[in-house]
Amino acid sequence: MWAPLSRGLPFLGRQLNCHRCPVPRPFSNHRGRVLISTQSAGTQSADVLVIGGGPVGLSTAYHLARMRGGDGRGIVILERDPTYKRASATLSAGGIRQQFSLRENVEMSMYGRDFLRDAAELLRTANLGEEEVDVQFREHGYLFLACSDSGRKVMRENHEVQREAGCEDARLLDPSELSERFPWINIEDVLLGSYGEKGEGWFDPWALISALKNKIVDMGVKYVHGAPIGARRDERTGMVLSVDVEERSVRTRNISRYSVGQIVNAAGAHASSVMDLLAGTGAPLVHPLPVRPRKRCIFFFHCSAPHGVPPVAPLTVDSSLVYFRSEGSSESANFLCGVSPMEDEDRDCHDDAGLDYVDHHLFEDRIWPALFHRVPAFGEIKVRSSWAGLYDYNTIDQNAIIGFHPEVPNIVMANGFSGHGLQHSPAAGRAAAELLEQRMFRTLDLHIFSFERVLKGEAVFEHGIV
């Protein structure tokens, strides 16, 4: 057995030699900095201002426009980074499953599953011509493993919840069934497995983001490269009246004021700071949003073992909470893996620069031993790449917050998903749109995720789930 990460570190740490082009660029000051002019763009209006152009914000705009007969005019969506270089979604493993212990999460995933399956039709636009939308949904499954009596008990209970919610694709497998289905897994300490063969797997986050963005723009939604920098509230009602936005383009930086009717806070890991900003210059919120940016790392590795390599591994969640899945074709023998840090090491990451530093000790200390124990062929692997992204971590119970804020009644919150936001974005977007239009949930009853539980201190935890 050898340490795969140390073999890969020379490659990961290698720096390329970069040369500055001596030819001055247009609009530059000849010292390497682009000259950007800042100007006021006056006052504009937005019936609904969506802050955050990730999957949840885009899905909200999409469903709202659909509810309005395909007319997205009056909906404005702000995204601070349209390249999505630092976006939580594009830096994630892209998984979706119905295996949860809360009925509401199961139902949200089932909605997301159907949305992904129908994305080619739902997100088609006239400008695509014959080209089809393909979000690369690969239904290769999710596999959870239980290695203790308590873990087996929770797995059976979760399975009952899933069945009652209408999920018929997940089944329980005993050790002999696991060994027959997944001969590459070491099952000597496994008591039970839960396998979602259909409707679970992974998809391309960037493809979904691109398709949603193209669709909402086609329906008339205004997509703005910008971020809120201030807000004005009515002291009597608490409602936000206007939001100051810094809009950016290649050569200009405009400050616009948007008079707003309603706002959606879909800012993900930055939702709490956005909420504080929207509260204005007065007293801070009595009940702040309990969402924090927490770093999560993913490692990409290759397995060179001649035998026992999983051809296509489902997204497998070990009892150690280490997960892995195949990446690419069955012939590539490439995989993604990760694990959440221990609670005493899980700190807020407010600076995006922190994402430049991957916590390699996670691989050496926790991931690598678990991988080798569970899949003997993983004794011959080499880390080829790694990266870090952010969770919008709900410190109360690690579940979504979807609903109105009692102190700012014209803001709908859709955040705090704690790693489940991408797969739940279709359902969350529809739920937020229903609150905006009808002031209540219609398709799925998600009142359990309202802000009221924060006020009452009534956490709703998942059990036996990552």
Residue 402, in any domain of the structure: yes
User: What does the alpha-carbon distance between residue 100 and residue 466 come to, in Å, rounded to a whole number?
Assistant: 9
Residue 259, in any domain of the structure: yes
**Residues 57 and 173 both lie in one domain:** no
Q: What percent of the chain has pLDDT over 70?
A: 91
Residue 9, pLDDT > 50, answer: no
**Residues 179 and 236 both lie in one domain:** no
**What pLDDT score does 17 carry?**
35
Residue 180, in any domain of the structure: yes
Q: What sign results for the dihedral spanned by CA atoms 96, 102, 106, 107?
A: negative
The residue-averaged pLDDT of 359-379 equals 97
**Residues 210 and 344 both lie in one domain:** no
Domain final position from 392, 419, 443: 392
**Residues 233 and 266 both lie in one domain:** yes
The residue-averaged pLDDT of 330-357 equals 94
Number of domains in the chain: 2
The residue-averaged pLDDT of 64-88 equals 98
**What pLDDT score does 466 carry?**
83
Could you list the residue range(s) of the whole structural domain that residue 363 is in?
Answer: 133-199+293-392
Summarised one tens digit per residue, pLDDT across range 435-454 is 999 999 999 999 999 999 99
The residue-averaged pLDDT of 275-302 equals 92
User: What does the alpha-carbon distance between residue 425 and residue 109 come to, in Å, rounded to a whole number?
Assistant: 9
**Residues 170 and 218 both lie in one domain:** no
The residue-averaged pLDDT of 254-265 equals 97
Domain final position from 392, 411, 435: 392
**Residues 191 and 319 both lie in one domain:** yes
**Residues 279 and 325 both lie in one domain:** no
The residue-averaged pLDDT of 164-178 equals 98
Domain final position from 361, 392, 423: 392
Q: What is the pTM of this model?
A: 0.91
Q: What sign results for the dihedral spanned by CA atoms 109, 113, 116, 119?
A: negative
Residue 229 binned pLDDT confidence (cut-offs 50, 70, 90): very high
Residue 241, in any domain of the structure: yes
Residue 421, in any domain of the structure: yes
**What pLDDT score does 38 carry?**
56
User: What does the alpha-carbon distance between residue 116 and residue 121 come to, in Å, rounded to a whole number?
Assistant: 10
CATH code at 283?
3.50.50.60
Residue 35, pLDDT > 50, answer: no
**What pLDDT score does 40 carry?**
65
Residue 280 binned pLDDT confidence (cut-offs 50, 70, 90): confident
Residue 244 binned pLDDT confidence (cut-offs 50, 70, 90): very high
- Asked if 421 contacts 94 with a C-beta cutoff of 8 angstroms, the reply is no
Residue 5, in any domain of the structure: no
Residue 238, in any domain of the structure: yes
Nearest Cα neighbor of 253 from 229, 288, 223, 222 is 229
- 3 state SS of 97: coil
Mean per-residue pLDDT over the chain, rounded: 91
Summarised one tens digit per residue, pLDDT across range 139-167 is 999 999 999 999 999 999 999 999 999 99
**Residues 52 and 195 both lie in one domain:** no
**What pLDDT score does 42 carry?**
78
**Residues 186 and 226 both lie in one domain:** no
**What pLDDT score does 19 carry?**
33
Q: Which residue has 């919840």 as its token pair?
A: 161
**What pLDDT score does 171 carry?**
98
Residue 276, pLDDT > 90, answer: yes
Residue 7, in any domain of the structure: no
